[in-house]
Structure 1
Amino acid sequence: MAAACTRALCKVGGGILESAAARRSGTVFSYLPGSRRAFGSGGYRSKLLTYLRTGGGAGGRVLGCAVLLGGGFGSYQTVKFRLQQHLAEEETKVSGGGGVKLTLYQYKTCPFCSKVRAFLDYHGLPYEVVEVNPLMRKEIKWSLYRKVPILMVDSDVQLNDSSVIISSLKTYLISRDKSMSDILRCYPEVKSVNDRGKEVTEYGNKYWVMLGDCEAAALYPDKGAQKEERKWRQWADDWLVHLVSPNMYRTSGEALASLDYIVREGKFGTYEGFFAKYVGAAAMFLIAKRLKSRHQLQDDVRQDLYKAVNDWVAAIGKKRKFMGGDHPNLADLSVFGVLRVMEGLQAFDDMMDNTKVKGWYRRVERAALQHEGREHMEP
């Protein structure tokens, strides 16, 4: 489990011991729901090898690395979800799955990829998963966009950035008179240079579902619901996601436990397992410290996680099951997708025990597994 993500660490060991096994990469097909953009909401790169070789490099490289592995090693229960998603995929083949063929290129433990899977699962859309090797990324060498997630629609239209993927697919499911290519034009690329002198790509309107007045009124019957959804989707990308890595690797023990889980679940040789566990744990512990400083988190980063989650629950309120009311909206699915990458780790257990999120979390989980959003696919 999570072998593709951790082979980046194994490459370090391979470079030292000349292990041929550490130079393997491949494509894994799975149907696992669960689980960054290069910092906002799109996708992320693996830069751990550069970090370990250079002793840190620029802050952007450090953050990109942490986002890669901070996506949630040891997330959710593998066997249960594998079976459930396989059965769900068979079901949705019968129902038609929205009439499009979807292929998701992802890192399984990436929270942005997890957001996309939460959306696809909730709406009962069948999709094929291509697991991308985070170091070589040869599975997406055909693409100029070198991050994940990437979603291919009918092997023809390429969707980049998790929020663009979700918004454009939601638009397509409701407005069947529009082609995916036409919809994609509503989310133009905007290139800029960040404060570190690096060119970055953002996407205009990415939190908007592009609907006519009648369609928008049907989807958002309550005043202010659309604005609220956009606000919290952006919050998930700009804040919540940056709490994942510091909490997963908060202590050396937690860092070691996270990497130990990968070694036990994955198929590693002796040298691969050793370096993935010990070198990786040490590196991620140090990176988590840098992230804490970068995002001005408290000494005990759990408190930031607790506060963020409780703020989310308070925004939903006591009278609603979800932020979307009786059914999850895109904000519900996004927040759920980010949080579930920590499942199976101490950070997740602590969050469940020390916040009020558990009831909402289990309701969204159930809704996604049962594909309760299928009714929105009807023409």
Structure 2
Amino acid sequence: MAAACARTLCKVGWNILESPAGTVSYLVRNASAHGSRRAYGTGGPGVRSGLLSSLRAGEGRVRGSGGRVLGCAFLLGGGLGLYHTVKSRLQQHLAEGEVKVSGDGLKLTLYQYKTCPFCSKVRAFLDYHGLPYEIVEVNPVMRQEIKWSAYRKVPILMVDEDVQLNDSSVIISSLKTYLITKEKSISDIIRCYPEMKAVNDRGKEVTEYNNKYWVMLGEAENTTLYPEKGMQKEEMKWRQWADDWLVHLISPNVYRTTGEALASFDYIVREGKFGTFEGFFAKYVGAAAMFLISKRLKSRHNLQEDVRQDLYKAVNDWVAAIGKKRKFMGGDHPNLADLAVFGVLRVMEGLQAFDDMMENTKVKHWYRRMERAALNHEGRN
């Protein structure tokens, strides 16, 4: 549209320069005729009528050499408009090129629940690495958005609309492998994480994935990513800790009391994809149900009566594992364990459990560094 306006200004300018002085009168009459229907200024009718009066008063003076001045003004305005349009288009083109490069040519679509800690882990990885992605928020009741998938959990990441990645740790390991190697396609890489059916300790069949904490690299690439002995093993250990232990501390803490359960579900309903009735039902019935379920989870995972103490201990254990000499577990930059722990903890933001954690543990400085790293896409290069 800007280009069209600029071309119109140029055309008007040439017409004024090449036409008799009567053209200016025509423009003024047109302005009078249409002034009551369209106004682009912010001064209101009084300003418009004053402007038109000035134009009429000056019409005689505009004839002759004045017309040429006005024509030059239109030409100058049109030329500047074209310049800024071309500049804007060029900047847009360059920005699109940067997005394509930063996204490594992948079209990514994440099917998620906003408040799911496993989904938050994937978003933390994508944000940190500056990978553009689209989000499809899944209705947690009907789940129509993933009815096409045999795998009925979230997160699901679709790559280029034809390769499906399941399980947050598999998604992260696969993408990290792809970003480093660039030699294999996502379809080839995903074969390194074969699906395996198993029965858990409650007798329920579950789907697990072999090798899901491994980044599949050659020897040289592996040495570059993990320059110090033990770094890879440490990263894998704490990624698994985030999945097997830290995640299980979230629900008992955010649903610890009836008031916290209601506040948590108010947040879930606001952020999630619920209909009006579903939202009301989820907020009140869901809060009551999860308050009761959190008691069972506390028993199942052998948590203390005050579950905050388990959360505090876990977070402080994490900070102690990083130590005082490192900014992150990955050193000067976050590794996959940093991103996993950050993603899990982030889902509590805005809730009482998060505020208590930040006040009563040593995690604050590390967490704020992680926030900045993800927000600024510091892993893009």
Q: TM-score, normalised by structure 1?
A: 0.72
Please report how far the alpha carbon of residue 205 of structure 1 lies from its aligned counterpart in structure 2 after TM superposition. 0.4
Q: Would the alpha carbon gap of residues 165 and 260 (structure 1) be closer, same or farther in structure 2, given more than 3 Å must change?
A: closer
2:204 equivalent to 1:198? yes
After TM superposition, the structure 1 = structure 2 runs for residues 198-277 of structure 1, keeping only pairs within 5 Å, are 198-262=204-268, 274-277=280-283
Write the letter of the residue equivalent to 2:307: V
Please report how far the alpha carbon of residue 97 of structure 1 lies from its aligned counterpart in structure 2 after TM superposition. 1.1
Please report how far the alpha carbon of residue 329 of structure 1 lies from its aligned counterpart in structure 2 after TM superposition. 0.2
| Alignment partner of 1:167 out of 167, 173, 180 | 173
Q: Would the alpha carbon gap of residues 210 and 255 (structure 1) be closer, same or farther in structure 2, given more than 3 Å must change?
A: same
What percentage of aligned pairs have identical amino acids?
85
What is residue 310 of structure 2 aligned with on the other side?
304
Gaps of 5+ in 1: 1-88
Measure, in 1, the Cα distance between the counterparts of 2:124 and 2:363. 17
Report 1 or 2 for greater relative contact order, CA contacts < 8 Å, sequence distance ≥ 6: 1
What is residue 313 of structure 1 aligned with on the other side?
319
2:284 equivalent to 1:278? yes
Q: Would the alpha carbon gap of residues 269 and 242 (structure 1) be closer, same or farther in structure 2, given more than 3 Å must change?
A: closer
Preserved CA contact (<8 Å) 1:193 1:199: yes
Measure, in 1, the Cα distance between the counterparts of 2:273 and 2:124. 27
Q: How many residues align?
A: 287
What is residue 146 of structure 1 aligned with on the other side?
152
Write the letter of the residue equivalent to 1:166: I
Task: Give the greater-gyration-radius structure (CA).
Answer: 2
Measure, in 1, the Cα distance between the counterparts of 2:184 and 2:202. 39
Please report how far the alpha carbon of residue 266 of structure 1 lies from its aligned counterpart in structure 2 after TM superposition. 7.5
Q: Would the alpha carbon gap of residues 214 and 326 (structure 1) be closer, same or farther in structure 2, given more than 3 Å must change?
A: same
**Aligned partner of residue 342 in structure 1, secondary structure:** coil
1:281-307 deviations in Å (ceiling 9; x for gaps): 211111111110110100000000000
1:207-255 deviations in Å (ceiling 9; x for gaps): 0000001000000011100000000000000000000000001111111
Measure, in 2, the Cα distance between the counterparts of 1:196 and 1:100. 39
Q: TM-score, normalised by structure 2?
A: 0.72
After TM superposition, the structure 1 = structure 2 runs for residues 76-95 of structure 1, keeping only pairs within 5 Å, are 93=99, 95=101
After TM superposition, the structure 1 = structure 2 runs for residues 291-370 of structure 1, keeping only pairs within 5 Å, are 291-370=297-376
Q: Which moved more, 1:179-188 or 1:303-312?
A: 179-188
Preserved CA contact (<8 Å) 1:92 1:125: no
Preserved CA contact (<8 Å) 1:106 1:149: yes
Gaps of 5+ in 2: 1-94
Measure, in 2, the Cα distance between the counterparts of 1:104 and 1:233. 21
Measure, in 2, the Cα distance between the counterparts of 1:173 and 1:337. 20
| Bigger fraction of residues in helix | 2
What is residue 157 of structure 1 aligned with on the other side?
163
Q: Would the alpha carbon gap of residues 348 and 91 (structure 1) be closer, same or farther in structure 2, given more than 3 Å must change?
A: farther
Preserved CA contact (<8 Å) 1:106 1:148: yes
Preserved CA contact (<8 Å) 1:247 1:301: yes
Q: CA RMSD in A?
A: 1.9
Measure, in 2, the Cα distance between the counterparts of 1:239 and 1:363. 23
